Structure 1
Amino acid sequence: MTQTLGIALMGTGRMAHVYGPKINAHPGLRLEVIYNPRMSSAQKAAALYGGRPMDDLDAVLADPGVDAVVIATPTDTHVDYIEQAAAAGKPIYCEKPLDQSLERVDRAMQALQTHPVPFMLGFNRRFDPDNAMLQQAVRSGEVGPLNMLMSWSREPSPPPIDYVRASGGYFVDATIHDIDLLCWIAGERPVQVYAAGSCKFDPQIGAEGDFDLTMTTMTMPSGALVHINNSRACSYGFDQRLEAFGEKGMVQTRNHRDDTLVRWDGTATEARKPLKHFFLERYDQSFYNALDEFHAAVTEGREPSSTAEDGRAALAIALACAQSARDGVAVQPIYGG
């Protein structure tokens, strides 16, 4: 019989609206509380997804019905909530990134060492079925020793400029997903990165000193080369592809569409519908699968597969990429606490 965990969902913004329905859909999770320091926001979210609205964090963490917390709040609040939830002995699922600062990430990791509760970081793309199949193919030796690993990750349109200003920069905000995913697939972390960026779509992004178009190359200890290209704009939808090339062959993931039918007519041949529009549609299943992994880790007493250390490493690499793009030189990421 599935053990049910009562969940306190922290936050009521965009990612909380992703996790609310996924918690409700999981047979082993129960949405017990929705927390926001503004009660009116908590009440609105609770009206949509259920759970009891609460605005007192101490009361949430002391609530006997709360077995674990899902942190889906703004990034700059993650560390504070991790420290308090860990001190209360609550297992934690936290949206990525842990923070935009390595110093604050180290604070969170110290709290998790002092209060060792189950902790999982929400790098959801690991839990996409296509990505997981490609990782399994690489790790099982299907392509032989890995030579090249490539990722295409292009968004349909630039985000609002207020989001960009608070994002920590394109590498920390977006490329970090690809960094974590490709390191997980390869089973190693880079010894050197070289990145370049430009701004071709939204001049406001450039005025903030950020990029909307980047390319990154990572050199792995094995000698494998990893390439990531990112774009804040893409006219044909949310372009998400992977390719692993080894001595024995190659495996790829393809883009997703709502309609996979191929059409031929008097105006076009092999015509197909546009791609999924954004990450909320393309990676919908991955969020459920990630929560399923969290439930299994807590109820079975095992280490979650996406850890705080993974989050620290991905941030260190992303910061090295930002430095490389800014200075025009190759950079060695600095790991460790």
Structure 2
Amino acid sequence: MQTLGIALLGCGRMAHVYGPKINTHPGLRLSVVFNPNLASAERIAEQYGGEASSDLDHALSHPGADVVLVATPANTHLEYVIASAKAGKPTFCEKPLDQSLDRADQCVATLKQHPIPFMLAFNRRFDPDIAALQKTVRDGGLGQLSFLMSTSREPAPPPMSYVKSSGGYFVDATIHDIDLMCWIAGERPSEVFAAGSCLTDPEIGEAGDCDTTMTTLKMPSGCLVHINNSRRCAYGFDQRIEAFGEAGLLQTTNQRDENLVRWGADATEVHAPLKHFFLERYDASFSIALDEFYCAVTEGRDPSCTVQDGRDALAIALACDQSRKTGSAVKMEWS
């Protein structure tokens, strides 16, 4: 099996997600860890391996760095993807592509000028249950698709420091649901309408954001998509998808640490709580996504989740935020 050395850019939460995944993949190794703060890079390198560096050029030209994994804050993705592309390194980048559509378009243009294998990490596509639902829908298993519904509710809001730099709830969180709904349906919306409230933390509202949203996407086929998101969920990380069509219904259900169900004369009980957050719920999908990137690079093919997918999801997310602010539906125009 071919081995690919990784230059990991970024030392935050996602570095701790990908570090162990890299180390357990038989074809990947961590070669160099970059952060402008060398001490941060040293801590990650000490935990997961590789050389620590605060020099981006050095990290990208490191003799052991065959590919690049961008796990830096969202508003820095563009500069690092452009640098990686110009260095000719296949790149795996955390979502979103950027928080600005103009900058996302700049990224698309750069990757056309400097073509490399590029994959955007919409990891939920790689959850086995969601992938099975998508394949069944796209293979025609439901016939004509009528509705797609996505529920995604987080146990608690993130710190305000994160909220203020996140790009807004639609760009930070709903974008996952948007990407999944378009991927499952195989089309992009012609119109979007979204509404938002602040019911969890007044500070989020004061920052101009929301923590409770409902989104409707109207697809050219006539299929209607409903997405509901909340940053407050008392019972854990609520993640469900429903696809309804002329031939029936498909659902993905919540996952628990233990799936034991007790049946008795008085009640049916499931005692185990839901998986707490995305780190636990989508643990397997991070590994599968990394393997998809590895296989694409070593087999000489394009990864399945592209820069255009990232650009389109961002455009829809920004349109949703516009709709939320104006109270009007937004028509989508696609070239």
TM-score (norm 1): 0.97
Partner SS for 2:63: coil
Instruction: Tell me, in whole angstroms, the C-alpha distance in 1 between the residues paired with 2:299 and 2:292.
Output: 10
Deviation at 1:110, TM superposition (A): 1.5
Instruction: Show the 5 A alignment for 1:142-291.
Output: 142-263=141-262, 269-291=268-290
Instruction: Tell me, in whole angstroms, the C-alpha distance in 1 between the residues paired with 2:260 and 2:9.
Output: 40
Instruction: Tell me, in whole angstroms, the C-alpha distance in 2 between the residues paired with 1:54 and 1:333.
Output: 43
Count of matched residue positions in the alignment of Structure 1 and Structure 2 = 335
Conserved? CA contact 1:316–1:335, under 8 Å: no
Determine the structure 1 residue equivalent to 2:8. Answer: 9
- Counterpart amino acid of 2:99? Q
Determine the structure 2 residue equivalent to 1:95. Answer: 94
Instruction: Tell me, in whole angstroms, the C-alpha distance in 2 between the residues paired with 1:334 and 1:47.
Output: 48
Partner SS for 1:180: helix
Instruction: Show the 5 A alignment for 1:307-318.
Output: 307-318=306-317
Determine the structure 2 residue equivalent to 1:124. Answer: 123
Conserved? CA contact 1:157–1:234, under 8 Å: yes
Report the aligned-residue RMSD: 1.3
Determine the structure 1 residue equivalent to 2:25. Answer: 26
Instruction: Tell me, in whole angstroms, the C-alpha distance in 2 between the residues paired with 1:331 and 1:105.
Output: 20
1:247-303 deviation line (CA, Å, top 9, x unaligned): 000010000000101135799642321100000000001111111010111111111
Conserved? CA contact 1:316–1:334, under 8 Å: no
Determine the structure 1 residue equivalent to 2:45. Answer: 46
Conserved? CA contact 1:264–1:271, under 8 Å: no
Cα distance, 1:64–1:326 mapped onto 2, change above 3 Å: same
Instruction: Tell me, in whole angstroms, the C-alpha distance in 2 between the residues paired with 1:224 and 1:265.
Output: 41
| Unaligned stretches of 5+ residues in structure 1 | none
| Unaligned stretches of 5+ residues in structure 2 | none
Determine the structure 2 residue equivalent to 1:320. Answer: 319
Quick check: 1:73 aligned with 2:72? Answer: yes
- Counterpart amino acid of 2:260? L
Instruction: Tell me, in whole angstroms, the C-alpha distance in 2 between the residues paired with 1:134 and 1:89.
Output: 35
Instruction: Tell me, in whole angstroms, the C-alpha distance in 2 between the residues paired with 1:109 and 1:208.
Output: 30
Partner SS for 2:244: strand
- Counterpart amino acid of 1:252? Q
Between the aligned residues of both structures, percent identity stands at: 66
Instruction: Tell me, in whole angstroms, the C-alpha distance in 1 between the residues paired with 2:270 and 2:105.
Output: 50
Conserved? CA contact 2:38–2:53, under 8 Å: yes
1:296-336 deviation line (CA, Å, top 9, x unaligned): 11111111110000000000000110011111111013445
Determine the structure 2 residue equivalent to 1:82. Answer: 81
Conserved? CA contact 2:32–2:62, under 8 Å: no
- Counterpart amino acid of 2:46? A
Determine the structure 2 residue equivalent to 1:332. Answer: 331
